[in-house]
């Protein structure tokens, strides 16, 4: 199967990205496309070929200073004064533009991250709904009237936090940006968006759509750059940034907290996971297997919600093992722009190396390698970071492949004997992002889901996400929620106003 040849039209000029390297020479700051002052040019590698496919401007501390100043000026200026329904109208215009550009954005996302086009399309094709839904909330963050005695009138007002630093990961760049921009703009905040250094392109494309939608200068600024020592750290440290909304690894969140400690800003942290996917023997096993295999390999394993710990009740264990092995052989790993490809490459050489290292840990710890476990080196994929969908049987929950986030397409199949053991295994993890469970017993569905320590529990489905459903983690999986009303709330502050109806105040020193 050969790669489909596609021609990309980028904002920096129409180029066929199969050949010439795409050029993104400017940052988007204060409504202008500007050269970096203390950054430079970074190369974005196409993970399917290992070759440079784009050259992209990146910013340093000075550029972050400029971007934060522009965001502050917009917050204190036109954007801050704009009536909420007008902000909503701009967001809706942006959402419509986004929708018109879905195919192009999905292709660019695939090119930058290696995600199979069919997955990028399905994901990116949903984002306009998020933007529209958050637009609909822009004039609905009401305060409350607080019952008091007759001498005062007390009420709350919801106020935007101010300037937000949005720091995104490389696995789902457009989704992550969407989950931050939607609620931040609906709340009335302004944003400095820093995409991951591995996938800088689509954030700049978002900047172009923001410009086309007609947002006032500085409402959204886009500064690609590095993390530690670069634009990411500068944003996290900046004293005029009111909130950091970060998606990435737990260790990076810890570093961001230390960096920002002096400024006492707010945080949302969307971090990693090691999600249990529990298959009870009383489940509709065929459906459960469809979900369990897909959720272990989706995004080439580079999903925070990956159902990588598959907990299987013993009576169906052999069937699950056989199906995982046979399904692994059916996964079409290939060039990510090929319409037929199920699974593209890992996003970077580092990530490929990490996945292979963990395959070694699985073997060393005594798990049985049932399928996969190797880099794919056939000629058509040579040069890319392709790995086989991998299955370990007879894994135990104390093995490294069951405890640590691999971020590769590696499933660990772990048997259990009863409900209590399933719950104990599910919760025996540092993480608590997502979980899945399959059972046709409605009592068990409620009983077990109520005991799982995870921010979202899917029953008889998996990875079902919508703009309306709060998403985020317990434990080391993060702080706060993205999506749903909770997300909007996290970009707002509360002011309580107490007005005396009498206007009198007793003299405490009269006697
Ligand atoms: P990462 O933590 O290495 O990097 C994420 C971002 O942080 C990048 O933009 C990077 O440049 C920046 N960064 C790095 N060091 C920094 C520092 N010291 N200060 C400020 N910024 C810094 O994460 P990654 O490898 O890009 O992404 C993968 C991780 O993201 C996984 O753990 C995955 O589970 C998690 N993730 C979570 C969710 C979720 O919603 N919970 C979604 C997607 C990914």
- Give the tens place of pLDDT for each residue, 423-482: 999 999 999 999 999 999 999 999 999 999 999 999 999 999 999 999 999 999 999 999
What would the two tokens of residue 361 be? 């840990």
How far is residue 210's CA from residue 208's CA, in Å, rounded to a whole number?
5
Ligand 1, residue 169: give the atom nearest the CA: 26
- Candidate of 173, 201, 236, 247 to mutate for ligand 1, largest count of ligand atoms within 8 Å of Cβ: 247
How far is residue 256's CA from residue 268's CA, in Å, rounded to a whole number?
11
- Sign for the CA dihedral angle at 228, 410, 173, 488 comes to negative
Burial of 67 (0-12, 13-18, 19+ CB in 10 A): buried
Q: Domain residues of the chain, as ranges?
A: 22-271+473-495, 276-459
* H helices present in 337-418, as ranges: 349-364, 400-403
- Candidate of 224, 227, 273, 347 to mutate for ligand 1, largest count of ligand atoms within 8 Å of Cβ: 227
CATH fold label, 276-459:
Aldehyde Dehydrogenase; Chain A, domain 2 (3.40.309)
Report CA(272)–ligand 1 centroid distance (Å).
Answer: 9
Which residue has the least CA distance to atom 12 on ligand 1?
A: 227
How far is residue 18's CA from residue 5's CA, in Å, rounded to a whole number?
7
Report CA(375)–ligand 1 centroid distance (Å).
Answer: 24
Cross-sheet strand order for the sheet of 51-58: 22-24, 51-58, 40-46
Report CA(98)–ligand 1 centroid distance (Å).
Answer: 24
Which residue has the least CA distance to atom 26 on ligand 1?
A: 169
- Candidate of 114, 130, 169, 183 to mutate for ligand 1, largest count of ligand atoms within 8 Å of Cβ: 169
Cβ proximity of 258 and 237 under 8 Å: no
**HSE value, Cβ hemisphere, 13 Å, CA-based, for 154:** 10
Tracing tokens 């400017």 back to the chain, one arrives at 26
Tracing tokens 């405890």 back to the chain, one arrives at 403
Q: Say which of 270, 313, 388, 405 is annotated catalytic.
A: 270
Ligand 1, residue 433: give the atom nearest the CA: 41
Is 419 a residue of the active site?
no
From first to last of its 511 residues, the chain has per-residue pLDDT tens of: 222 223 333 444 333 345 679 999 999 999 999 999 999 999 999 999 999 999 999 999 999 999 999 999 999 999 999 999 999 999 999 999 999 999 999 999 999 999 999 999 999 999 999 999 999 999 999 999 999 999 999 999 999 999 999 999 999 999 999 999 999 999 999 999 999 999 999 999 999 999 999 999 999 999 999 999 999 999 999 999 999 999 999 999 999 999 999 999 999 999 999 999 999 999 999 999 999 999 999 999 999 999 999 999 999 999 999 999 999 999 999 999 999 999 999 999 999 999 999 999 999 999 999 999 999 999 899 899 999 999 999 999 999 999 999 999 999 999 999 999 999 999 999 999 999 999 999 999 999 999 999 999 999 999 999 999 999 999 999 999 999 999 999 999 999 999 999 999 999 999 9
CATH fold label, 22-271+473-495:
Aldehyde Dehydrogenase; Chain A, domain 1 (3.40.605)
Which residue has the least CA distance to atom 13 on ligand 1?
A: 227
Q: Say which of 119, 197, 304, 482 is annotated catalytic.
A: 304
Report CA(170)–ligand 1 centroid distance (Å).
Answer: 7
Which residue has the least CA distance to atom 15 on ligand 1?
A: 227
Phi-psi label, residue 372: left if phi above 0, alpha if psi -120 to 50, beta otherwise: left
Report CA(72)–ligand 1 centroid distance (Å).
Answer: 25
Pocket of ligand 1 (CB under 6 A): 167-172, 176, 194, 196-197, 226-228, 232-233, 236, 247-249, 252, 255-256, 259, 270-273, 304, 405, 433, 473, 478
Ligand 1, residue 252: give the atom nearest the CA: 2
Return the biggest CA–CA distance within the chain: 95
Report CA(328)–ligand 1 centroid distance (Å).
Answer: 28
Which residue has the least CA distance to atom 42 on ligand 1?
A: 304
Which residue has the least CA distance to atom 8 on ligand 1?
A: 196
Which residue has the least CA distance to atom 22 on ligand 1?
A: 227
Which residue has the least CA distance to atom 30 on ligand 1?
A: 248
Is 270 a residue of the active site?
yes
């Amino acid at each position: 199967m050969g790669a489909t040849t596609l021609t990309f039209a980028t904002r920096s000029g129409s180029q066929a990205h199969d050949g010439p390297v795409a050029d993104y020479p400017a940052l988007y700051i204060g409504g202008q496309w500007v050269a970096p002052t203390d950054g430079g040019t970074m190369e974005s590698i196409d993970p399917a070929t290992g070759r440079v496919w784009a050259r992209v401007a990146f910013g340093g501390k000075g550029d972050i200073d400029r971007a934060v100043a522009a965001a502050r000026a917009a917050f204190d200026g036109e954007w801050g004064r704009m009536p909420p329904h007008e902000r909503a109208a701009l967001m809706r215009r942006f959402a419509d533009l986004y929708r018109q550009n879905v195919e192009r954005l999905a292709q660019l996302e695939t090119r930058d991250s290696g995600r199979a086009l069919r997955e990028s399309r399905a994901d990116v094709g949903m984002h306009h709904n998020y933007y529209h839904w958050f637009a609909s909330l822009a004039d609905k963050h009401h305060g409350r009237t607080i019952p008091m005695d007759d001498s005062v009138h007390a009420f709350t007002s919801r106020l935007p936090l101010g300037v937000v630093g949005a720091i995104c990961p490389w696995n789902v760049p457009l989704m992550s940006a969407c989950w931050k921009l939607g609620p931040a703009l609906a709340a009335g905040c302004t944003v400095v968006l820093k995409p991951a250094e591995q996938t800088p392109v689509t954030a700049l494309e978002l900047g172009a759509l923001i410009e086309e939608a007609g947002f006032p200068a500085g409402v959204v600024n886009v500064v690609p750059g590095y993390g530690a020592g670069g634009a990411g750290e500068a944003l996290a440290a900046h004293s005029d940034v009111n909130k950091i909304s970060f998606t990435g690894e737990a260790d990076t969140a810890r570093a961001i907290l230390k960096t920002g400690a002096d400024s006492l800003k707010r945080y949302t942290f969307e971090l990693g996971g090691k999600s249990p996917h529990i298959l009870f023997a009383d489940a509709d096993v065929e459906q459960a297997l469809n979900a369990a295999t897909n959720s272990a390999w989706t995004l080439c394993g580079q999903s925070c919600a990956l159902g990588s710990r598959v907990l299987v009740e013993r009576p169906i264990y052999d069937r699950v093992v056989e199906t995982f092995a046979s399904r692994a052989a059916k996964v079409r790993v290939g060039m990510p722009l090929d319409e037929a490809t199920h699974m593209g490459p890992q996003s970077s050489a580092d990530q490929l190396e990490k996945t292979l290292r963990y395959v070694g840990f699985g073997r060393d710890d005594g798990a049985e390698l049932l399928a996969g476990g190797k880099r794919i080196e056939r000629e058509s994929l040579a040069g890319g970071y392709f790995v086989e969908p991998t299955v370990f049987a007879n894994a135990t929950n104390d093995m490294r492949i069951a405890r640590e986030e691999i971020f590769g397409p590696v499933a660990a199949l772990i048997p259990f004997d009863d409900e209590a053991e399933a719950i104990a295994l599910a919760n025996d993890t540092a993480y608590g992002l997502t979980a899945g469970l399959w059972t046709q017993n409605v009592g068990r569905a409620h009983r077990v889901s109520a005991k799982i320590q995870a921010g979202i529990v899917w029953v008889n489905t998996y990875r079902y996400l919508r703009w309306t459903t709060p998403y985020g983690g317990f434990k080391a999986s993060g702080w706060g929620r993205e999506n749903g009303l909770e997300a909007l709330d996290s970009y707002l502050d509360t002011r309580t106003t107490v007005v005396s109806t009498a206007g009198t105040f007793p003299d405490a020193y009269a006697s």
